[in-house]
Structure 1
Amino acid sequence: MQQRRWHEFDSRSDLEAAAADAILASAQQAIAERGAFRIVLAGGTTPRQVYRALCAARTEWSAWHIYFGDERCLPPADAQRNSAMASSAWLAQVPIPQLQVHPIPAELGAEKAALCYAQELATLGAGTDFDLVLLGLGEDGHTASLFPGEAWEKATKLPPVIAILHAAKPPPERVTLSPARLSSARQVIFLVSGPDKQEALQDWRHGAPVPASRITPTGGVDIFFHTSPDS
């Protein structure tokens, strides 16, 4: 059962500022307690603005380790890649060691990339939680590249990284972390903004089995949302 904490904001900019503050607070705590901060990034418009806000942050960047929740099978420099967006908006502007940024090699194709990234995550050690996972919500209730009505929903056991071959949105080939791997986190924050997300958000809130409901960390999830039009 997913435990949810709902945080509504008056504007998109308020949501983005709160998200940036939450990320930095999580980083500060993780670095103080464990000497490293392992964060999983989401793609999309709302995270882009949050990432831009982080460029000016004062933090121990050398302790940050960057992972990705999903990726499109496109060339590495393609602007639609989550890793390319995060790099242009933020990562290229701050001194995180390059070896601590772990993009999904989705240019290899979904199946090979999924195997490679599973090996990459295995180097963290069995049972190692991420410190913070950032996720979004699609109009159909999907999160990362976990779309409704696909084979992963019916599988009894999933690998930590899944090859998606027939995604509901282009491109059809994608790579995504599984619900269990995304749930292996000390903190999970969903960032949801825009009127087009309102129906999916309400379905989720009223108990519909949307893919986002499959993310079940022990500590529950926080949903930062603003779905009314900004004036």
Structure 2
Amino acid sequence: MITSSAAEAIHERGQFHFVLAGGSTPRGIYHGLSAAPTDWSAWHIYFSDERCLPPLDPERNSRMAAEVWLDRVPIPQAQLHAIRGELGALQASRMYAETLRTVGAFDLVLLGLGEDGHTASLFPGHEWGIVPGSQDTLAVYAAPKLPPQRVSLSATRLSRARQVMFVVSGESKHTAVAEWRAGKNIPARAIMPQAGVDVLVDATLLVPIAH
């Protein structure tokens, strides 16, 4: 699905703007992409969130993606837009907002889902960036998962996409999907692109969720 989305975007607009999910769930997906037959020069990579850790810390989302995929393909360095979480949540958030200032709708946003319904670094009880005029990026403090400082794209910015796909793995996450479909107000529900979202559960079941 990712490569077909890329092919369509490149054919229609000459570029593919792709937002990556963090965490461990998409690791296998990224590894598989390293062998994909595509025009890498047209890919532009962004991150849905990042942990405020040193650049080479193995817990960094950008580090994981680089190790299993991005360092193995010839995407131009200027088109790899990492969040500079090492600068701290506030400064990194402001810098990434500037990076996104001239970027229109993303072609594809890939997201994960936590047991509590969080996605990217949008957690229950925290700001999600859903009110009119919300900024593209959020500085996250006191996150319920370590590390406490993070940077996240807002729900409003993640929703400005032609396609949004959630990849969900693990039995405990299925409960969150069921609650989501039942209408519970979890952070993932705040992602509301015009086309709705697709949820890929354990890489076997594609469940469209309309808003």
Q: So what's the TM-score if we normalise by structure 2? A: 0.93
Structure 1 residue 123, shift from structure 2 partner: 2.7
**Residue 172 of structure 2 is aligned to residue 221 of structure 1:** no
- Is 1:143 matched up with 2:122? no
> What corresponds to 1:212 in structure 2?
188
Q: Kindly indicate whether residue 5 of structure 2 is the aligned counterpart of residue 26 of structure 1.
A: yes
Which structure's residues are more often helix, by fraction?
1
In 1, Cα distance between the equivalents of 2:109 and 2:131? Answer: 23
Contact persistence 1:198–1:227 (CA under 8 A): no
Gaps of 5+ in 2: 205-211
Correspondence 1:107 to 2:86? yes
Q: Are the equivalent residues in 1 in contact too, given 2:128–2:190 (CA < 8 A)?
A: no
Q: 1:97 aligns with which of 57, 76, 85?
A: 76
Question: How many Å apart are 1:154 and its aligned residue?
Answer: 8.2
Q: Which residue of 2 aligns with 1:188?
A: 164
| Aligned counterpart, 1:6 | none
Q: CA 1:81 to 1:142, structure 2 compared with 1: closer, same or farther past 3 Å?
A: same
Residue 172 of structure 1 corresponds to: 148
Equivalent position amino acid for 1:181 in 2: R
TM-superposed CA distance for 1:150, in Å, is 1.3
Using the alignment, how far apart are the partners of 1:151 and 1:46 within structure 2? 24
Q: Name which structure has the greater RCO, CA cutoff 8 Å, separation 6+.
A: 1
1:38-117 map, 5 Å: 38-117=17-96
TM-score, normalised via structure 1 length: 0.85
Q: Does the aligned pair in 2 maintain the 1:196–1:227 contact within 8 Å?
A: no
Q: Cα RMSD (Å) of the superposition?
A: 1.6
- Kindly report structure 1 stretches of 4+ aligned residues shifted beyond 2 Å: 151-158
Cα distance in 2 for partners of 1:75, 1:155 equals 32
Q: How many residues align?
A: 204
Judge which range, 37-46 or 83-92, deviates more: 37-46
CA distance in 1, matches of 2:127, 2:142: 10
Which one-letter code corresponds to 1:136 in the other structure?
Answer: G
Distance 2:154 2:197 in 1: 16
CA distance in 2, matches of 1:171, 1:70: 12
How far did 1:226 drift?
2.7
> Could you tell me how far apart the structure 2 residues matched to 1:59 and 1:227 are?
22
* Partner SS for 1:59: coil
Instruction: Give SS of 2:26's match.
Output: helix
Question: Which SS does the other structure have where 1:46 is aligned?
Answer: coil
